């Protein structure tokens, strides 16, 4: 880049133009110098630096700026107490997953985190070991089992597992609007840190794509589909809260999950079983069923960790 080149401008910006742009950025940065909270000052000044650099790099036109404002306005208009389009926008831009990444630093063999998703509810019913979270939701039965340990391999007894998923039609219970509770429950690990329950074999489904975020995805040729997954939130005293999913090995959407939530360590084998075959707990299942094992390792609580 020549001495007269601006940020990403291919050398087309004069030295004087660059000086004016840099002077504006410096002036805006200085306006936050007296902010009483140091963290607020740090965040806002970093935002200004990156936003100004973006505008200069792409040489943003006023028409493009107007379009961006109109887009964000539409995102705000469709957002209400049941739908958060701004979170959806964060998801499809990978910002949600990046926030998860920086707030859940790698700790040995601790299970990786991923996005929380919009369909968790805090009042899911409790089931005992071997219980069924489906609650009548349609789909192929799936046996899920595993063990929760800490980084030293010690079993974590009494850990609370919240589990939830979509049905085979790609819908969560809360999307039906009829107060049904299905495809979700909570349970606790036993003295050996083990858990087991019946759920549904995960299937793919689209994120809400009837709003501005969906239009954005269509405009760039991206699919709204999420890879098949089952949600977990695991909590235990003194250990970092884990928010994660498990994904189905072989799912063709693993490489194109619309919110970038897939991590290789979270891709599990879901073994298919023939109709009439013996289940782990002797339950009689009509038709085929699947099974998987998900062993969970929790990191110590260091004040960071997942946030909803």
Instruction: Considering only CA atoms, give the Rg of the chain.
Output: 24
Instruction: Evaluate if residue 198 carries a pLDDT over 50.
Output: yes
pLDDT at 2: 39
Kindly tell me if the per-residue pLDDT of 275 is higher than 60.
yes
Work out whether strand 225-226 and strand 205-206 pair parallel, antiparallel, or are unpaired.
antiparallel
Residue 56 falls within a domain, yes or no? no
In a domain, 172, yes or no: yes
From the number of C-beta atoms within 10 Å of its C-beta (0-12, 13-18, 19+), residue 76 rates as: exposed
β 141-150/289-293 pair status: parallel
Query: pTM for the whole thing?
Result: 0.88
Q: Return the pLDDT at 177.
A: 86
For residue 282, is it within any domain? yes
Asked, for residue 211, whether it belongs to a domain, the answer is: yes
Going by pLDDT thresholds of 50, 70 and 90, the confidence category of residue 83 is confident
Asked if the structure places residue 109 within a domain, the reply is: yes
- What confidence category does residue 307 fall into, taking pLDDT thresholds of 50, 70 and 90? very low
Which tens digits make up the pLDDT trace of 104-114?
A: 999 999 999 99
| pLDDT at residue 82, as a whole number | 78
**Domain region containing 272:** 104-298
CATH number at residue 112: 2.60.130.10
CA angle 203, 91, 99 (to 5 degrees): 120
Domains of the chain: total: 1
pLDDT confidence of 12, banded at 50, 70, 90?
confident
Give the tens place of pLDDT for each residue, 226-248: 999 999 999 999 999 999 999 99
């Amino acid at each position: 880049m020549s001495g007269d080149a601006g940020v990403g401008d291919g050398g087309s910006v004069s030295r004087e133009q660059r000086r004016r742009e840099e002077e504006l950025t410096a002036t805006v940065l200085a306006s936050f110098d007296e902010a009483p909270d140091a963290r607020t000052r740090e965040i806002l000044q970093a935002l200004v630096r990156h936003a100004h650099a973006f505008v200069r790099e792409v040489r943003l036109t006023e028409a493009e700026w107007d379009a961006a404002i109109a887009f964000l306005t539409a995102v705000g208009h469709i957002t209400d107490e049941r739908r958060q389009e701004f979170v959806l926008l964060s998801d499809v831009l990978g910002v949600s997953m990046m926030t998860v990444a920086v707030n859940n630093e790698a700790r040995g063999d601790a299970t990786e985190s991923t996005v929380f998703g919009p369909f968790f509810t805090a009042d899911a019913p409790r089931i005992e070991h071997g219980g069924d979270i489906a609650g009548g939701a349609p789909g192929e039965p799936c046996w899920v089992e595993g063990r929760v340990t800490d980084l030293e391999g010690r079993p974590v007894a009494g850990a609370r597992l919240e589990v939830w998923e979509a049905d085979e039609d790609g819908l969560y219970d809360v999307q039906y609007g009829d107060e049904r509770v299905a495809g979700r429950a909570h349970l606790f690990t036993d003295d050996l840190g083990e858990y087991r329950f019946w759920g549904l074999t995960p299937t793919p489904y689209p994120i809400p794509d009837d709003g501005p975020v969906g239009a954005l995805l269509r405009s760039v040729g991206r699919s709204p589909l999420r890879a098949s997954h089952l949600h977990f939130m695991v909590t235990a005293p003194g250990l970092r809260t884990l928010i994660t999913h498990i994904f189905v090995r072989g799912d063709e959407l693993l490489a194109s999950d619309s919110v970038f939530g897939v991590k290789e360590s979270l891709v599990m084998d879901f073994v298919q079983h023939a109709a009439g075959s013996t289940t782990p707990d002797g339950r009689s299942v009509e038709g085929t069923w699947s099974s998987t094992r998900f062993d969970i390792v929790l990191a110590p609580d260091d004040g960071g960790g997942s946030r909803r």
